[in-house]
Amino acid sequence: MEHFFGEEWEIVPAGGATGEAYFAQFEQQRLFLKRNSSPFLAVLSAEGIVPKLVWTKRMENGDVVTAQQWLNGRELKAVDMNDERVAKLLNKIHSSKPLLAMLMRIGKPPLQPESLLNMVNTQLDPSLRHHDYVQKGLQFLHTSIEQIDCEEVTVCHCDVNHNNWLLTEDNQLYLIDWDGAMIADPAIDLGMLLYWYIPEDQWEEWVQRYGLQLTDHLRLRMKWYVIAQTLHFIQWHKSKERYSEMDKWIEFLTAVLD
């Protein structure tokens, strides 16, 4: 990474799960660097969904490094997820034709409910299958799958955790970390956001700010995808031996199903 810059630049790891992100600074120039980031970062930048893309360069080993504006700001807090700007930006993302065209161009197939259910079924350890609420969740997925139809798939972020929302000092909101993006039912993003952050008696108002009506069908789709994602997270944390996190997701699954 250092050979892109002179010795006067300070380059430090930015953390994160992949270890592929860095901060670079020289005097007043500041950049956020990432190795092999999502290939549609340029479209996200053009749409104003992520901080501005400054340049893209290919390294000798074939890796691609992108540089974005490094902006002062903060991650959203859990309470901030009820902000109207979150609903508006998520709607903008789900409505973006350029984003959808780019993901289709690079060969991302739409995520079908059947594929997601098959993945969950394949991944789950036998020991987890004995848990009452895991069984209950699987039963709900199987019995409801025929009703999980969506007329229009969109680009979905698939990890709308509050830590992935950046509010800058000039009050600009961005959604970052697009490595897990998919073409799918927007209920994937809506469900996890509402179930995790928004009191149920405020769902209708939130969804209206987003630009939809909270129908029974949307409720069913959100619940279906939340349960599927939660079972995936339970298995993932178990495989990493992060049992306290696994227990938190089991507790969350229990609340969704009760």
Catalytic residues: 159
Q: What are phi and psi of 193, to 5 degrees?
A: -65, -45
- Amino acid identity of 50? V
Say which residue the tokens 């540089």 belong to: 67
Residue of 39, 14, 36 whose CA lies nearest to 25: 14
> Cβ atoms within 10 A of the Cβ of 202, count?
12
- Amino acid identity of 256? V
> Cβ atoms within 10 A of the Cβ of 199, count?
9
DSSP element (H, E) containing 190 = helix 187-197
CA distance 176 to 202: 25
Residue 144 structure tokens: 């409801």
DSSP element (H, E) containing 22 = strand 21-26
Query: Which pairing describes strands 73-75 and 165-168: parallel, antiparallel, or unpaired?
Result: antiparallel
